[in-house]
Amino acid sequence: MLSIPLIRWCIKLSKTRVSVVMGSESDREVMKNCLTLLDEFTISYEVKVLSAHRTPEATSDYAKHLESRGIKVVIAGAGGAAHLPGTMAAHTTLPVIGVPLTSSLQGLDSLYSIVQMPSGVPVACMALGAAGAKNAAVLAAQILALSSPEIKKKLKDYKVKLARGSFPPSSP
Ligand code: AIR
């Protein structure tokens, strides 16, 4: 007989819909803003640390298999020469949301790396840092809500909470 926590874990595992990737462990603190909101929307996700430059083969291999695993949206956060979102987009037809993370050039390097994709390979570029990490979760929820009335409802509740000031604006 399976225990209830184990059953919950199995359900969560089978319904993973969002992949959250980041270029380094050092990005996790800011990307936690994204994970917290995905939890708020009860959207199941997996988190991977992959680098377009340090682990290029593992990154492309992971991106190529997302769709067949049932993932619907990719969120990719990176700093510096932030090629992770673009690399993900190169290998999948899933929507890719990019989060530029601040680095030595105050994030301008990551912003330009993510926003200026060549035609034919879009990445939805969010704001820099924590605000972008949060918005990535909201945009992912909005994409999933197109086929999920439950997530649509959560988004509507979220907007009400925003208007009430229950979700304070993020620090830069
Ligand atoms: N990065 C890692 N591989 C490629 C890139 N662009 C980024 C990470 C992180 C920054 O480099 O996303 O924001 C610094 O990483 P680290 O590991 O040196 O702290």
Q: Which of 108, 56, 60, 55 is nearest to 80 (CA)?
A: 108
The closest residue, in CA terms, to atom 1 on ligand 1 is 23
User: CA-CA distance, 79 to 88, in Å (whole number)?
Assistant: 15
One of 1.10.3720.10, 3.40.50.1970, 3.90.1150.10, 3.40.50.300 is the CATH number of 16-164, namely: 3.40.50.1970
> Where does the pLDDT of residue 166 fall: very low under 50, low under 70, confident under 90, or very high at 90 and above?
confident
Count of beta carbons in the 10 Å neighbourhood of residue 164: 8
| 103: confidence class by pLDDT, cuts 50, 70, 90 | confident
Q: Residue 171: which pLDDT band, with cuts at 50, 70 and 90? A: very low
The residue ranking higher by pLDDT, 104 or 101, is 101
Å from CA of 23 to ligand 1 middle: 5
Q: Whose CA is nearest to atom 9 of ligand 1?
A: 79
Mean residue pLDDT of the chain comes to 92
At residue 15, the 3 state secondary structure works out as coil
Ligand 1-lining residues (CB < 6 angstroms)? 23-24, 26-27, 51-54, 78-82, 101, 103
Q: Which residues of 53-66 are buried (b: 16+ CB within 10 A; e: fewer)?
A: eeeeeebbebbeeb
What is the model's pTM?
A: 0.91
Band (pLDDT 50/70/90 cuts) for residue 15 is confident
- Tell me the CA distances in angstroms from 123 to 6, 37, 145, one per residue in order: 36, 20, 19
According to DSSP, the β-strands at 45-49 and 96-101 are unpaired
Phi then psi for residue 154, to 5 deg, are: -60, -40
pLDDT digits (tens, 9 = 90+) for 31-67: 999 999 999 999 999 999 999 999 999 999 999 999 9
Which residues does 155 contact at the CB level (< 8 Å), separation at least 6?
41, 138, 141, 142, 145
CA pair distance 39, 28, nearest whole angstrom = 16
70 by Cβ neighbours in 10 Å (0-12 / 13-18 / 19+) ranks as exposed
